[in-house]
Amino acid sequence: MPEILQSTEHVLSILAVVGAELLLLLVLTACCFYIARLIFSYLAKRETLVQFESQLNDMWRWYRFGLLLLVCFLILLIILLNAWLVWQNQSPYIVLEQWISNISADIWLHLSLALGKILAAAVAIGFGLKYLHRFFAASQTRTEKFTHFQSNTSEIRRFFNSLSQVFTIAAWLFFIVFVTEQLALADSIYQLLIKAISIYLIIGLATIAARMVAVVVLALNSFMHQLASSKAWQAYFEALQPLLPLLQKSLAYIIWIAGLSLVIAQLTPIAEFAKLGPRLIQSIVIFFIARVIIDAGNLLIDHKQYEGDYDEMVMRRRATIMPLMKTIYQYVVYFVTLVLILGALGIDIMPFLAGAGILGVVIGFGAQPLINDIVSGFFILFENIFLVGDVIDTGQVLGAVEHIDFRTTKIRDPEGNLHILRNGDLNHIKNYSKDFTFAVVEVPFSYDVDVVEARSFLIDCGAQVQQAMADDVTDALEVKGIVAFEPSAMHFRVSMPVKPAKHFVVATKLREVIKQGFDAKGWRIPANQQQVHISGMP
Protein backbone atom coordinates (compact mmCIF):
# COMPACT_ATOMS: atom_id res chain seq x y z
CA MET A 1 0.00 0.00 0.00
CA PRO A 2 1.35 3.48 -0.87
CA GLU A 3 2.42 5.49 2.14
CA ILE A 4 0.13 8.35 1.18
CA LEU A 5 -2.93 6.24 1.92
CA GLN A 6 -1.78 5.67 5.50
CA SER A 7 -2.62 9.29 6.39
CA THR A 8 -6.25 10.13 6.94
CA GLU A 9 -5.60 13.74 5.97
CA HIS A 10 -4.12 12.70 2.63
CA VAL A 11 -7.01 10.32 1.95
CA LEU A 12 -9.54 13.10 2.58
CA SER A 13 -7.62 15.48 0.29
CA ILE A 14 -7.54 12.82 -2.45
CA LEU A 15 -11.27 12.29 -2.15
CA ALA A 16 -11.90 16.05 -2.14
CA VAL A 17 -9.83 16.54 -5.32
CA VAL A 18 -11.47 13.64 -7.14
CA GLY A 19 -14.92 14.82 -6.04
CA ALA A 20 -14.20 18.40 -7.18
CA GLU A 21 -12.93 17.19 -10.57
CA LEU A 22 -15.98 14.94 -11.03
CA LEU A 23 -18.31 17.74 -9.96
CA LEU A 24 -16.71 20.15 -12.44
CA LEU A 25 -17.06 17.52 -15.17
CA LEU A 26 -20.75 17.04 -14.35
CA VAL A 27 -21.36 20.82 -14.37
CA LEU A 28 -19.74 21.15 -17.80
CA THR A 29 -21.75 18.14 -19.03
CA ALA A 30 -24.98 19.72 -17.78
CA CYS A 31 -24.11 22.96 -19.57
CA CYS A 32 -23.44 21.11 -22.85
CA PHE A 33 -26.68 19.16 -22.47
CA TYR A 34 -28.70 22.31 -21.77
CA ILE A 35 -27.21 24.28 -24.66
CA ALA A 36 -27.73 21.39 -27.08
CA ARG A 37 -31.34 20.96 -25.93
CA LEU A 38 -31.98 24.65 -26.55
CA ILE A 39 -30.51 24.39 -30.06
CA PHE A 40 -32.50 21.27 -30.97
CA SER A 41 -35.71 22.75 -29.51
CA TYR A 42 -35.19 25.90 -31.56
CA LEU A 43 -34.60 23.92 -34.74
CA ALA A 44 -37.66 21.72 -34.14
CA LYS A 45 -39.88 24.84 -34.00
CA ARG A 46 -38.74 26.14 -37.38
CA GLU A 47 -41.34 25.68 -40.13
CA THR A 48 -38.64 25.11 -42.71
CA LEU A 49 -37.36 22.10 -40.71
CA VAL A 50 -40.69 20.46 -39.88
CA GLN A 51 -40.14 17.84 -42.56
CA PHE A 52 -36.85 16.86 -40.84
CA GLU A 53 -38.42 16.28 -37.42
CA SER A 54 -37.61 12.57 -37.34
CA GLN A 55 -33.98 13.22 -38.38
CA LEU A 56 -33.62 15.88 -35.66
CA ASN A 57 -34.99 13.46 -33.05
CA ASP A 58 -32.48 10.83 -34.18
CA MET A 59 -29.65 13.36 -33.96
CA TRP A 60 -30.76 14.37 -30.47
CA ARG A 61 -30.76 10.72 -29.32
CA TRP A 62 -27.33 10.10 -30.79
CA TYR A 63 -26.02 13.30 -29.19
CA ARG A 64 -27.24 12.23 -25.72
CA PHE A 65 -25.79 8.77 -26.21
CA GLY A 66 -22.44 10.18 -27.35
CA LEU A 67 -22.34 12.69 -24.49
CA LEU A 68 -23.03 9.91 -22.00
CA LEU A 69 -20.21 7.77 -23.40
CA LEU A 70 -17.83 10.75 -23.31
CA VAL A 71 -18.71 11.53 -19.68
CA CYS A 72 -18.22 7.90 -18.65
CA PHE A 73 -14.85 7.86 -20.39
CA LEU A 74 -13.74 11.12 -18.71
CA ILE A 75 -14.89 9.88 -15.26
CA LEU A 76 -12.91 6.70 -15.78
CA LEU A 77 -9.91 8.75 -16.95
CA ILE A 78 -10.06 11.03 -13.87
CA ILE A 79 -10.24 8.06 -11.54
CA LEU A 80 -7.39 6.24 -13.28
CA LEU A 81 -5.19 9.36 -13.39
CA ASN A 82 -5.65 10.06 -9.71
CA ALA A 83 -5.12 6.35 -8.91
CA TRP A 84 -1.87 6.45 -10.87
CA LEU A 85 -0.71 9.52 -8.88
CA VAL A 86 -1.57 7.73 -5.63
CA TRP A 87 0.28 4.64 -6.84
CA GLN A 88 3.30 6.87 -7.48
CA ASN A 89 2.93 8.02 -3.85
CA GLN A 90 1.98 11.54 -5.02
CA SER A 91 -0.87 13.57 -3.60
CA PRO A 92 -3.39 14.62 -6.31
CA TYR A 93 -4.17 17.68 -4.20
CA ILE A 94 -0.53 18.77 -4.16
CA VAL A 95 -0.10 18.08 -7.88
CA LEU A 96 -3.24 20.11 -8.70
CA GLU A 97 -2.11 22.90 -6.36
CA GLN A 98 1.31 23.06 -8.03
CA TRP A 99 -0.26 23.10 -11.50
CA ILE A 100 -2.57 25.97 -10.50
CA SER A 101 0.26 27.89 -8.78
CA ASN A 102 2.34 27.72 -11.96
CA ILE A 103 -0.34 29.76 -13.74
CA SER A 104 0.65 33.42 -13.52
CA ALA A 105 -1.62 36.18 -12.24
CA ASP A 106 -1.68 37.73 -15.69
CA ILE A 107 -3.12 34.53 -17.11
CA TRP A 108 -5.78 34.42 -14.39
CA LEU A 109 -6.60 38.06 -15.04
CA HIS A 110 -6.81 37.48 -18.79
CA LEU A 111 -8.99 34.41 -18.24
CA SER A 112 -11.29 36.31 -15.90
CA LEU A 113 -11.64 39.20 -18.35
CA ALA A 114 -12.21 36.76 -21.21
CA LEU A 115 -14.93 34.93 -19.26
CA GLY A 116 -16.53 38.26 -18.42
CA LYS A 117 -16.49 39.37 -22.03
CA ILE A 118 -17.90 35.99 -23.12
CA LEU A 119 -20.69 36.23 -20.58
CA ALA A 120 -21.47 39.82 -21.60
CA ALA A 121 -21.46 38.87 -25.29
CA ALA A 122 -23.82 35.93 -24.64
CA VAL A 123 -26.24 38.18 -22.74
CA ALA A 124 -26.04 40.86 -25.44
CA ILE A 125 -26.68 38.35 -28.21
CA GLY A 126 -29.59 36.82 -26.31
CA PHE A 127 -31.31 40.18 -25.75
CA GLY A 128 -30.43 41.39 -29.25
CA LEU A 129 -31.93 38.31 -30.91
CA LYS A 130 -35.05 38.64 -28.75
CA TYR A 131 -35.74 42.17 -29.98
CA LEU A 132 -34.65 41.24 -33.52
CA HIS A 133 -37.24 38.43 -33.63
CA ARG A 134 -39.90 40.88 -32.45
CA PHE A 135 -38.87 43.27 -35.22
CA PHE A 136 -39.08 40.49 -37.82
CA ALA A 137 -42.53 39.44 -36.53
CA ALA A 138 -43.81 43.03 -36.73
CA SER A 139 -42.32 43.46 -40.22
CA GLN A 140 -44.00 40.22 -41.34
CA THR A 141 -47.38 41.39 -40.04
CA ARG A 142 -47.09 44.76 -41.78
CA THR A 143 -45.87 43.19 -45.03
CA GLU A 144 -48.83 40.78 -45.14
CA LYS A 145 -51.20 43.78 -45.01
CA PHE A 146 -50.00 45.18 -48.35
CA THR A 147 -52.45 44.60 -51.18
CA HIS A 148 -50.14 42.68 -53.50
CA PHE A 149 -48.77 40.50 -50.69
CA GLN A 150 -52.07 39.35 -49.19
CA SER A 151 -52.27 36.24 -51.38
CA ASN A 152 -48.65 35.28 -50.66
CA THR A 153 -48.68 34.96 -46.87
CA SER A 154 -47.09 31.50 -46.93
CA GLU A 155 -44.07 32.71 -48.94
CA ILE A 156 -43.76 35.81 -46.74
CA ARG A 157 -43.82 33.62 -43.64
CA ARG A 158 -41.10 31.37 -45.08
CA PHE A 159 -38.98 34.40 -45.96
CA PHE A 160 -39.10 35.90 -42.47
CA ASN A 161 -38.57 32.49 -40.84
CA SER A 162 -35.47 31.97 -42.98
CA LEU A 163 -34.30 35.50 -42.17
CA SER A 164 -34.75 34.92 -38.43
CA GLN A 165 -33.06 31.53 -38.55
CA VAL A 166 -30.04 32.76 -40.51
CA PHE A 167 -29.50 35.76 -38.20
CA THR A 168 -29.84 33.60 -35.08
CA ILE A 169 -27.41 30.89 -36.14
CA ALA A 170 -24.97 33.43 -37.59
CA ALA A 171 -25.01 35.38 -34.30
CA TRP A 172 -24.16 32.29 -32.24
CA LEU A 173 -21.49 31.22 -34.72
CA PHE A 174 -19.84 34.61 -34.37
CA PHE A 175 -20.13 34.14 -30.61
CA ILE A 176 -18.20 30.87 -30.90
CA VAL A 177 -15.50 32.66 -32.91
CA PHE A 178 -15.41 35.38 -30.26
CA VAL A 179 -14.99 32.72 -27.56
CA THR A 180 -12.17 31.12 -29.53
CA GLU A 181 -10.42 34.47 -29.88
CA GLN A 182 -10.84 35.39 -26.21
CA LEU A 183 -9.54 32.05 -24.99
CA ALA A 184 -6.57 32.29 -27.40
CA LEU A 185 -7.10 28.84 -28.83
CA ALA A 186 -5.05 27.48 -31.70
CA ASP A 187 -5.01 29.64 -34.83
CA SER A 188 -5.98 26.63 -36.96
CA ILE A 189 -9.22 26.28 -34.98
CA TYR A 190 -9.91 30.00 -35.39
CA GLN A 191 -9.35 29.88 -39.17
CA LEU A 192 -11.50 26.76 -39.47
CA LEU A 193 -14.36 28.46 -37.65
CA ILE A 194 -14.04 31.58 -39.81
CA LYS A 195 -14.27 29.45 -42.97
CA ALA A 196 -17.26 27.53 -41.58
CA ILE A 197 -19.05 30.80 -40.77
CA SER A 198 -18.29 32.13 -44.26
CA ILE A 199 -19.82 29.03 -45.85
CA TYR A 200 -22.88 29.21 -43.61
CA LEU A 201 -23.39 32.92 -44.31
CA ILE A 202 -23.19 32.28 -48.06
CA ILE A 203 -25.78 29.50 -47.81
CA GLY A 204 -27.96 31.55 -45.47
CA LEU A 205 -27.89 34.64 -47.65
CA ALA A 206 -28.67 32.49 -50.71
CA THR A 207 -31.67 31.05 -48.86
CA ILE A 208 -32.90 34.52 -47.91
CA ALA A 209 -32.42 35.79 -51.46
CA ALA A 210 -34.30 32.80 -52.94
CA ARG A 211 -37.20 33.37 -50.51
CA MET A 212 -37.20 37.07 -51.35
CA VAL A 213 -37.34 36.29 -55.08
CA ALA A 214 -40.41 34.08 -54.51
CA VAL A 215 -42.16 36.87 -52.59
CA VAL A 216 -41.26 39.56 -55.13
CA VAL A 217 -42.29 37.47 -58.16
CA LEU A 218 -45.65 36.56 -56.62
CA ALA A 219 -46.25 40.21 -55.72
CA LEU A 220 -45.27 41.20 -59.28
CA ASN A 221 -47.75 38.64 -60.60
CA SER A 222 -50.53 40.16 -58.49
CA PHE A 223 -49.60 43.70 -59.54
CA MET A 224 -49.45 42.82 -63.24
CA HIS A 225 -52.80 41.00 -63.03
CA GLN A 226 -54.42 44.10 -61.54
CA LEU A 227 -52.74 46.39 -64.07
CA ALA A 228 -53.74 44.15 -67.00
CA SER A 229 -57.36 44.10 -65.83
CA SER A 230 -57.51 47.89 -65.63
CA LYS A 231 -55.71 48.47 -68.95
CA ALA A 232 -57.48 45.77 -71.01
CA TRP A 233 -54.23 43.83 -71.39
CA GLN A 234 -55.69 40.65 -69.95
CA ALA A 235 -55.04 38.57 -73.09
CA TYR A 236 -51.36 39.57 -73.19
CA PHE A 237 -50.98 38.95 -69.46
CA GLU A 238 -52.47 35.46 -69.68
CA ALA A 239 -50.20 34.64 -72.64
CA LEU A 240 -47.04 35.78 -70.84
CA GLN A 241 -47.99 34.70 -67.31
CA PRO A 242 -46.17 31.31 -67.58
CA LEU A 243 -42.94 33.33 -67.77
CA LEU A 244 -43.31 34.50 -64.15
CA PRO A 245 -42.85 31.02 -62.57
CA LEU A 246 -39.98 30.45 -64.99
CA LEU A 247 -38.48 33.79 -63.91
CA GLN A 248 -38.77 32.75 -60.26
CA LYS A 249 -37.09 29.39 -60.88
CA SER A 250 -34.37 30.94 -63.03
CA LEU A 251 -33.51 33.57 -60.42
CA ALA A 252 -33.55 30.93 -57.67
CA TYR A 253 -31.19 28.71 -59.69
CA ILE A 254 -28.91 31.67 -60.36
CA ILE A 255 -28.81 32.50 -56.64
CA TRP A 256 -28.09 28.92 -55.60
CA ILE A 257 -25.43 28.42 -58.28
CA ALA A 258 -23.75 31.68 -57.26
CA GLY A 259 -23.85 30.61 -53.61
CA LEU A 260 -22.51 27.15 -54.43
CA SER A 261 -19.69 28.70 -56.46
CA LEU A 262 -18.72 30.93 -53.52
CA VAL A 263 -18.82 27.91 -51.18
CA ILE A 264 -16.61 25.88 -53.52
CA ALA A 265 -14.20 28.83 -53.73
CA GLN A 266 -13.73 28.55 -49.93
CA LEU A 267 -12.66 24.91 -50.25
CA THR A 268 -9.10 24.87 -51.54
CA PRO A 269 -9.01 21.30 -52.97
CA ILE A 270 -11.96 21.96 -55.29
CA ALA A 271 -11.74 25.75 -55.63
CA GLU A 272 -11.02 25.53 -59.38
CA PHE A 273 -14.54 24.23 -60.03
CA ALA A 274 -15.96 27.57 -58.83
CA LYS A 275 -15.34 29.05 -62.29
CA LEU A 276 -18.17 26.88 -63.67
CA GLY A 277 -20.68 28.95 -61.70
CA PRO A 278 -20.65 32.07 -63.94
CA ARG A 279 -20.93 29.85 -67.03
CA LEU A 280 -23.97 28.05 -65.66
CA ILE A 281 -25.54 31.38 -64.68
CA GLN A 282 -24.94 32.69 -68.19
CA SER A 283 -26.58 29.55 -69.63
CA ILE A 284 -29.67 30.04 -67.44
CA VAL A 285 -29.94 33.68 -68.53
CA ILE A 286 -29.68 32.64 -72.21
CA PHE A 287 -32.38 29.99 -71.74
CA PHE A 288 -34.74 32.42 -70.03
CA ILE A 289 -34.24 35.06 -72.72
CA ALA A 290 -34.93 32.39 -75.34
CA ARG A 291 -38.22 31.49 -73.63
CA VAL A 292 -39.19 35.17 -73.55
CA ILE A 293 -38.40 35.48 -77.26
CA ILE A 294 -40.41 32.33 -78.06
CA ASP A 295 -43.48 33.35 -76.06
CA ALA A 296 -43.38 36.90 -77.39
CA GLY A 297 -43.00 35.60 -80.95
CA ASN A 298 -45.90 33.15 -80.51
CA LEU A 299 -48.03 35.97 -79.12
CA LEU A 300 -47.17 38.16 -82.12
CA ILE A 301 -47.94 35.32 -84.56
CA ASP A 302 -51.29 34.65 -82.88
CA HIS A 303 -52.09 38.36 -83.04
CA LYS A 304 -51.25 38.50 -86.74
CA GLN A 305 -53.33 35.39 -87.39
CA TYR A 306 -56.57 37.08 -86.32
CA GLU A 307 -55.65 40.60 -87.40
CA GLY A 308 -57.65 42.21 -90.18
CA ASP A 309 -61.06 41.62 -91.73
CA TYR A 310 -60.48 39.00 -94.43
CA ASP A 311 -62.67 36.39 -96.04
CA GLU A 312 -63.04 32.88 -94.67
CA MET A 313 -60.53 31.34 -97.08
CA VAL A 314 -57.75 33.72 -96.04
CA MET A 315 -58.46 33.15 -92.36
CA ARG A 316 -58.41 29.37 -92.81
CA ARG A 317 -55.14 29.60 -94.70
CA ARG A 318 -53.72 31.63 -91.83
CA ALA A 319 -55.01 29.05 -89.36
CA THR A 320 -53.10 26.42 -91.34
CA ILE A 321 -49.84 28.28 -91.87
CA MET A 322 -49.46 30.07 -88.53
CA PRO A 323 -48.99 26.92 -86.35
CA LEU A 324 -46.25 25.77 -88.72
CA MET A 325 -44.59 29.17 -88.53
CA LYS A 326 -44.69 28.91 -84.74
CA THR A 327 -43.10 25.44 -84.89
CA ILE A 328 -40.31 26.59 -87.24
CA TYR A 329 -39.77 29.71 -85.16
CA GLN A 330 -39.43 27.67 -81.96
CA TYR A 331 -36.99 25.20 -83.56
CA VAL A 332 -34.80 28.05 -84.84
CA VAL A 333 -34.75 29.82 -81.47
CA TYR A 334 -34.00 26.58 -79.60
CA PHE A 335 -31.17 25.73 -81.99
CA VAL A 336 -29.60 29.17 -81.58
CA THR A 337 -30.10 28.88 -77.80
CA LEU A 338 -28.35 25.51 -77.73
CA VAL A 339 -25.40 26.91 -79.67
CA LEU A 340 -25.13 29.93 -77.35
CA ILE A 341 -25.35 27.76 -74.23
CA LEU A 342 -22.61 25.47 -75.51
CA GLY A 343 -20.48 28.54 -76.18
CA ALA A 344 -21.20 29.89 -72.69
CA LEU A 345 -20.10 26.57 -71.18
CA GLY A 346 -16.79 26.83 -73.01
CA ILE A 347 -17.55 24.08 -75.55
CA ASP A 348 -16.28 24.66 -79.08
CA ILE A 349 -19.38 24.80 -81.28
CA MET A 350 -17.65 24.38 -84.64
CA PRO A 351 -17.20 20.58 -84.31
CA PHE A 352 -20.78 20.45 -83.09
CA LEU A 353 -22.06 22.29 -86.18
CA ALA A 354 -19.92 20.16 -88.48
CA GLY A 355 -21.15 17.00 -86.76
CA ALA A 356 -24.73 18.21 -87.05
CA GLY A 357 -24.25 18.70 -90.81
CA ILE A 358 -22.77 15.23 -91.26
CA LEU A 359 -25.49 13.72 -89.09
CA GLY A 360 -28.10 15.50 -91.20
CA VAL A 361 -26.66 13.93 -94.38
CA VAL A 362 -26.63 10.47 -92.79
CA ILE A 363 -30.20 10.88 -91.56
CA GLY A 364 -31.19 12.14 -95.01
CA PHE A 365 -29.96 8.94 -96.64
CA GLY A 366 -31.49 6.71 -93.98
CA ALA A 367 -34.83 8.47 -93.60
CA GLN A 368 -36.27 8.60 -97.11
CA PRO A 369 -39.90 8.17 -95.95
CA LEU A 370 -39.48 11.01 -93.46
CA ILE A 371 -38.11 13.31 -96.16
CA ASN A 372 -40.96 12.27 -98.46
CA ASP A 373 -43.48 13.20 -95.75
CA ILE A 374 -41.86 16.59 -95.16
CA VAL A 375 -41.65 17.43 -98.88
CA SER A 376 -45.27 16.36 -99.38
CA GLY A 377 -46.25 18.54 -96.43
CA PHE A 378 -44.57 21.55 -98.04
CA PHE A 379 -46.45 21.00 -101.33
CA ILE A 380 -49.77 20.50 -99.51
CA LEU A 381 -49.33 23.82 -97.74
CA PHE A 382 -47.90 26.00 -100.48
CA GLU A 383 -50.04 24.58 -103.31
CA ASN A 384 -53.12 25.06 -101.13
CA ILE A 385 -54.29 21.47 -101.71
CA PHE A 386 -56.30 21.55 -98.50
CA LEU A 387 -56.45 23.65 -95.36
CA VAL A 388 -57.44 23.20 -91.75
CA GLY A 389 -61.22 22.88 -91.64
CA ASP A 390 -61.54 21.38 -95.13
CA VAL A 391 -63.55 18.18 -95.54
CA ILE A 392 -61.52 15.72 -97.59
CA ASP A 393 -61.58 12.09 -98.65
CA THR A 394 -58.17 10.44 -98.84
CA GLY A 395 -59.42 7.02 -99.84
CA GLN A 396 -58.55 5.85 -96.33
CA VAL A 397 -60.67 8.23 -94.31
CA LEU A 398 -63.35 10.88 -94.89
CA GLY A 399 -63.51 13.78 -92.47
CA ALA A 400 -62.51 17.32 -91.50
CA VAL A 401 -58.84 18.36 -91.36
CA GLU A 402 -57.90 19.43 -87.81
CA HIS A 403 -54.15 19.93 -88.08
CA ILE A 404 -51.50 19.95 -90.78
CA ASP A 405 -47.86 19.46 -89.92
CA PHE A 406 -44.82 18.97 -92.13
CA ARG A 407 -44.91 15.21 -91.54
CA THR A 408 -48.51 14.29 -90.72
CA THR A 409 -52.11 15.39 -91.22
CA LYS A 410 -54.82 14.85 -88.59
CA ILE A 411 -58.38 14.17 -89.80
CA ARG A 412 -61.50 13.81 -87.64
CA ASP A 413 -64.11 11.49 -89.19
CA PRO A 414 -67.90 11.91 -88.70
CA GLU A 415 -67.82 9.38 -85.86
CA GLY A 416 -65.36 11.53 -83.91
CA ASN A 417 -62.29 9.34 -84.47
CA LEU A 418 -58.99 11.14 -85.08
CA HIS A 419 -56.92 9.71 -87.94
CA ILE A 420 -53.24 10.62 -88.23
CA LEU A 421 -51.94 10.09 -91.77
CA ARG A 422 -48.45 10.55 -93.19
CA ASN A 423 -48.31 13.27 -95.81
CA GLY A 424 -46.39 10.95 -98.13
CA ASP A 425 -49.34 8.52 -98.15
CA LEU A 426 -51.87 11.13 -99.35
CA ASN A 427 -51.80 10.26 -103.05
CA HIS A 428 -55.44 10.80 -104.11
CA ILE A 429 -57.46 13.45 -102.28
CA LYS A 430 -61.03 14.58 -102.74
CA ASN A 431 -61.51 18.05 -101.32
CA TYR A 432 -65.15 18.91 -100.70
CA SER A 433 -64.32 22.42 -99.46
CA LYS A 434 -63.09 24.02 -102.70
CA ASP A 435 -65.37 26.64 -104.27
CA PHE A 436 -68.60 24.58 -104.39
CA THR A 437 -70.04 21.06 -104.43
CA PHE A 438 -73.32 19.28 -105.22
CA ALA A 439 -75.73 17.48 -102.97
CA VAL A 440 -76.64 14.43 -105.11
CA VAL A 441 -79.53 12.13 -104.24
CA GLU A 442 -81.08 9.20 -106.13
CA VAL A 443 -84.84 8.74 -105.57
CA PRO A 444 -86.69 5.52 -106.54
CA PHE A 445 -90.25 5.87 -107.91
CA SER A 446 -92.79 3.19 -108.63
CA TYR A 447 -93.61 2.62 -112.31
CA ASP A 448 -97.19 3.68 -111.77
CA VAL A 449 -96.06 7.29 -110.96
CA ASP A 450 -96.15 9.69 -113.90
CA VAL A 451 -92.69 10.92 -114.92
CA VAL A 452 -93.81 14.56 -115.24
CA GLU A 453 -95.48 14.42 -111.84
CA ALA A 454 -92.35 12.88 -110.31
CA ARG A 455 -90.16 15.63 -111.79
CA SER A 456 -92.52 18.35 -110.47
CA PHE A 457 -92.59 16.68 -107.08
CA LEU A 458 -88.78 16.67 -106.86
CA ILE A 459 -88.56 20.33 -107.91
CA ASP A 460 -91.03 21.27 -105.15
CA CYS A 461 -89.00 19.33 -102.56
CA GLY A 462 -85.85 21.11 -103.72
CA ALA A 463 -87.56 24.48 -103.33
CA GLN A 464 -88.49 23.63 -99.73
CA VAL A 465 -84.89 22.64 -98.94
CA GLN A 466 -83.53 25.78 -100.64
CA GLN A 467 -85.83 27.95 -98.55
CA ALA A 468 -85.00 26.11 -95.30
CA MET A 469 -81.23 26.12 -95.88
CA ALA A 470 -80.73 29.36 -97.77
CA ASP A 471 -77.28 29.91 -96.17
CA ASP A 472 -75.94 26.62 -97.53
CA VAL A 473 -77.75 26.22 -100.89
CA THR A 474 -76.47 28.37 -103.76
CA ASP A 475 -78.94 27.48 -106.53
CA ALA A 476 -82.15 25.58 -107.26
CA LEU A 477 -82.40 21.83 -107.49
CA GLU A 478 -81.85 20.26 -110.89
CA VAL A 479 -83.49 16.99 -111.90
CA LYS A 480 -81.03 15.01 -114.01
CA GLY A 481 -83.68 12.56 -115.08
CA ILE A 482 -84.05 8.78 -114.90
CA VAL A 483 -80.63 7.17 -114.43
CA ALA A 484 -81.60 3.53 -113.87
CA PHE A 485 -84.44 1.02 -114.28
CA GLU A 486 -84.85 -1.73 -111.76
CA PRO A 487 -87.48 -4.47 -111.68
CA SER A 488 -89.53 -2.59 -109.07
CA ALA A 489 -88.53 1.07 -109.50
CA MET A 490 -87.20 3.78 -111.76
CA HIS A 491 -84.43 5.94 -110.26
CA PHE A 492 -84.33 9.71 -110.63
CA ARG A 493 -81.09 11.58 -109.86
CA VAL A 494 -81.25 15.14 -108.52
CA SER A 495 -78.44 17.54 -107.68
CA MET A 496 -78.40 20.82 -105.80
CA PRO A 497 -75.45 23.29 -105.83
CA VAL A 498 -74.30 24.02 -102.28
CA LYS A 499 -71.47 25.74 -100.52
CA PRO A 500 -68.21 23.82 -99.93
CA ALA A 501 -68.51 20.78 -97.65
CA LYS A 502 -72.29 21.34 -97.18
CA HIS A 503 -73.42 18.54 -99.50
CA PHE A 504 -73.73 15.97 -96.72
CA VAL A 505 -76.11 18.01 -94.57
CA VAL A 506 -78.13 19.31 -97.56
CA ALA A 507 -78.48 15.80 -99.02
CA THR A 508 -79.70 14.55 -95.66
CA LYS A 509 -82.27 17.33 -95.45
CA LEU A 510 -83.39 16.66 -99.04
CA ARG A 511 -83.99 12.96 -98.33
CA GLU A 512 -86.02 13.93 -95.25
CA VAL A 513 -88.25 16.31 -97.26
CA ILE A 514 -88.72 13.73 -100.05
CA LYS A 515 -89.81 11.09 -97.52
CA GLN A 516 -92.31 13.50 -96.00
CA GLY A 517 -93.64 14.25 -99.52
CA PHE A 518 -94.03 10.56 -100.28
CA ASP A 519 -96.03 10.12 -97.07
CA ALA A 520 -98.23 13.14 -97.88
CA LYS A 521 -99.09 11.78 -101.35
CA GLY A 522 -99.59 8.26 -100.10
CA TRP A 523 -96.79 6.96 -102.30
CA ARG A 524 -94.80 3.93 -101.30
CA ILE A 525 -91.08 3.82 -101.78
CA PRO A 526 -90.71 0.74 -103.99
CA ALA A 527 -88.69 -2.23 -102.82
CA ASN A 528 -87.26 -5.12 -104.74
CA GLN A 529 -89.82 -7.92 -105.18
CA GLN A 530 -89.65 -11.44 -106.48
CA GLN A 531 -92.51 -13.58 -107.75
CA VAL A 532 -92.21 -17.29 -107.03
CA HIS A 533 -94.24 -19.74 -109.19
CA ILE A 534 -94.70 -23.26 -107.83
CA SER A 535 -95.43 -25.93 -110.40
CA GLY A 536 -98.85 -27.54 -110.08
CA MET A 537 -100.39 -24.66 -108.12
CA PRO A 538 -103.30 -22.72 -109.66
Residue 319 and residue 381: Cα distance in Å, rounded? 11
- Helices 105-144, 153-182: axis angle to 10 degrees equals 170
Q: How high is the pLDDT of residue 182?
A: 72
Is the pLDDT assigned to residue 112 strictly greater than 80? no
236 or 160, greater pLDDT: 160
Question: What does the alpha-carbon distance between residue 157 and residue 139 come to, in Å, rounded to a whole number?
Answer: 11
Residues contacting residue 220 through CB under 8 Å, at least 6 positions apart? 148, 244
The pLDDT value recorded for residue 334 is 87
Q: Between 495 and 103, whose confidence is greater?
A: 495
Q: Are strands 430-431 and 408-412 parallel, antiparallel or unpaired?
A: unpaired
More confident residue, 425 or 283: 283
Distance CA 492, CA 508 (A): 16
Predicted local distance difference test score (pLDDT) of residue 314: 60
* pLDDT at site 536: 53
Mean predicted confidence (pLDDT) in 241-252: 79
What's the pLDDT at 138? 82
pLDDT of residue 78: 82
- Identity of the highest mean pLDDT range in 134-143, 399-408, 442-451: 442-451
Residue 240's pLDDT band, with cuts at 50, 70 and 90, is low
pLDDT score, position 226: 63
Residue in 140, 267, 156, 255 with CA at minimum distance from that of residue 205: 255
Higher pLDDT, 39 or 240: 39
pLDDT tens profile 140-166: 777 777 655 555 667 777 777 777 878
CA distance 297 to 240: 11
More confident residue, 38 or 231: 38
Query: What span, in angstroms and rounded, lies between the C-alpha atoms of 341 and 387?
Result: 38
pLDDT of residue 238 exceeding 60: yes
Q: Is the pLDDT assigned to residue 52 strictly greater than 70?
A: no
Neighbours of 16 (CB within 10 A): 12
Residue 93 burial (10 A CB sphere; 0-12, 13-18, 19+): buried
Q: Which of 362-366, 448-452, 510-514 has the highest mean pLDDT?
A: 510-514
For residue 307, what pLDDT is reported?
59
pLDDT at 362: 53
Q: In Å, how far are 81, 216, 251, 288 from 245, measured between CA atoms? A: 66, 11, 10, 11
This prediction's pTM: 0.54
Closest CA to 283 of 254, 244, 249: 254
pLDDT at residue 108 above 80? no
pLDDT for residue 308: 55
How far apart CA 369 and CA 378 sit, in angstroms, is: 14
* % the chain with pLDDT above 90: 0
Query: What are φ and ψ of residue 262, in 5° steps?
Result: -65, -35
How much is the average pLDDT of 181-204? 75
Q: How far apart, in whole angstroms, are the C-alpha atoms of residue 51 and residue 28? A: 32
Query: pLDDT band for position 50 (50/70/90)?
Result: low
- Residue % of the chain over a pLDDT of 70: 75
Of 214-228, 355-369, 405-419, 488-502, the range with the highest mean pLDDT is 488-502
pLDDT at 149: 56
The winner for highest mean pLDDT among 40-54, 373-387, 423-437, 499-513 is 499-513
CB 152 within 8 A of CB 217: no
Give the pLDDT score at 30.
85
What pLDDT is attached to residue 233? 59
Tell me: pLDDT of 283 over 80: yes
> What pLDDT, on a 0 to 100 scale, did the predictor assign at position 266?
79
Tell me the C-alpha distance between 313 and 318, whole Å: 9
In our burial notation (b when 16+ CB lie closer than 10 A, e otherwise), range 260-269 reads bbbbbbeeee
Render pLDDT for 16-43 as a digit per residue (tens, 0 to 9): 877 887 888 888 888 878 877 877 776 6
Helix (H) / strand (E) containing 491: strand 490-498
Q: Residue 365 pLDDT more than 70?
A: no
